[in-house]
Amino acid sequence: MADRSGPAAELEVGDRTVRISNPDRVYFPARGETKLDLARYYLSVGDGIVRALRERPCMLHRFPTGVSGEKVHQKRLPRGAPEWVQTVRVRFPRYGRHADELCVTHPADVIWAVQMSTVEFHPWNSRAADTEAPDEWRIDLDPMPEASYADVRRVAGVAHEVLDELGAVGWPKTSGGKGLHIYVRIEPRWSFSEVRRAAHAFAREVERRAPDLVDLTWWRKDRDPRSIFVDYNQNARDHTIRSAYSVRGVPEGVVSTPIRWDEIDDADPRDFTIATVPARFAELGDLHAGIDDAVFALDELLEWADRDAREGAGEPPEDLQDLD
């Protein structure tokens, strides 16, 4: 079959130039957006995507022929990177292995990753300065198959209530699917296991307040199919989820998009796409722009975890990781 992707394009990204090969290759068949459209989308939200990824180890989800084709989960930086693309080394002691992952510091890093067919960006919740000390607590409201988005919204309201009582600022975003993510910036002085333990204590409190909606049963197959799982496991070491402003690898080009708390009741996650988010970003800017200024300490949540343990609440099993 003849290659109809056209000649390469060059994009000026700040003080750098990134070459985009096969710019006319259709990546998102629902509306026909191309690889070049994807790059231009990420340029349009440059401040936001860099803030979400800055100095974090980042796993890439690559789609060499577009989102209808093969999906490649890639921890290690693809070969052929310009000298200005930085990496951060993360280690996997159980396997005696390591990976040098993309470490974004400049918008051109993101556009180069698009050139390498990256659609989704999945960063760690720690940074290069100390990859073993998370600075981001992630609350993932994960609906089971028969749960509705209205149920997700209701649980988000309970989560917001608990965060307010703790004095923590939560920064919500759509997941790119049917769920909702809430990020909280934390002091980088706890281990992954401690952050996960604090997140589990928070999830138990949300479950106490919404027992008809939330099910924290460990095995997915055993949960109520109409429930929401407050997924504390997203804070385990090397667990990653789509960043703010990351596109999802689906034909519609849906975007994991920051939203205000007062938008949650009316916002439809399907409306946030690479076709609509640029204008929203131009109007509102990055709704997560203040996240680094709202740092929370986990001490009270860890006290909750200790209290729950004294009262007989079991600890979740250790969540083992595999190296892709």
pLDDT tens-digit map of 286-311? 999 999 999 999 999 999 999 999 99
Q: How far is CA 289 from CA 40, 72, 87, 88, 90, in A?
A: 21, 30, 24, 24, 27
Task: Find the mean pLDDT for residues 138-159.
Answer: 97
- What is the 8-class DSSP label of residue 234? G
| Contact present, 156 and 141 (Cβ < 8 Å) | yes
**Residue 230, H or E segment:** strand 228-231
At residue 281, what is the residue type?
A: F
Residue (of 148, 125, 151) closest to 55 by Cα position: 125
Q: What is the pLDDT of residue 322?
A: 37
Of 55-64, 87-96, 176-185, 259-268, the range with the lowest mean pLDDT is 87-96
Whether pTM > 0.75 for this model: the answer is yes
